[in-house]
Amino acid sequence: MNVQTLVIACGNSLRDDDGVGPAAADIVKSWQLPGTKVLAVHQLVPELIDEMKGAQRVLFIDAGTNVEGTFQASIIEPMKSRRFFGHHETPANLLALVHELEGRAPNAWQVSIAVLSFSHGNEMTSKAQDHLHAALVWIRDFLAEPSCTKSA
């Protein structure tokens, strides 16, 4: 499959609102958009570089606690944050590693969805569900524009 856009949704559906990432991944995957590949992961790991290097753009989706409003969308620039590989990467660090290995990095954005609870459980709060649905409107518009450079 020719991957134009790679969606990487991060989170743990067993930690209440942290499940917004996997929930977003399920919904975006159900749209079956051509050229879009969707991954749901528990955390950002260096192994994702293999998926990222072939994409033209990457959209990271995750829960956020310091988000103003319902969600925030922002452009991510490659920025190496440390000298060693680990299993708690940032989107910026993964982009820097792709650039270092491939000589280029895909354009990237991050959508952080405002959440309230990271308690043990598999039920998102109603606020997190509302915020997820608001973010999905932006995500759908973003994915519909192959050369999208918009931010929220």
One digit per residue, the tens of pLDDT, for the chain of length 152 reads 568 999 999 999 888 899 999 999 999 999 999 999 999 999 999 899 999 999 999 999 999 988 999 999 999 999 876 655 544 689 999 999 999 999 999 999 999 999 988 888 888 999 999 999 999 999 999 999 876 554 44
Give me the architecture of the 5-144 domain, per CATH: 3-Layer(aba) Sandwich (3.40)
Residue type at position 49: I
Domain ranges of the chain: 5-144
Report yes or no: 74 and 110 within 8 Å, Cβ to Cβ.
yes
Report yes or no: 19 and 11 within 8 Å, Cβ to Cβ.
yes
Give the pLDDT confidence score for residue 3 in this predicted structure: 84
Give the pLDDT confidence score for residue 49 in this predicted structure: 93
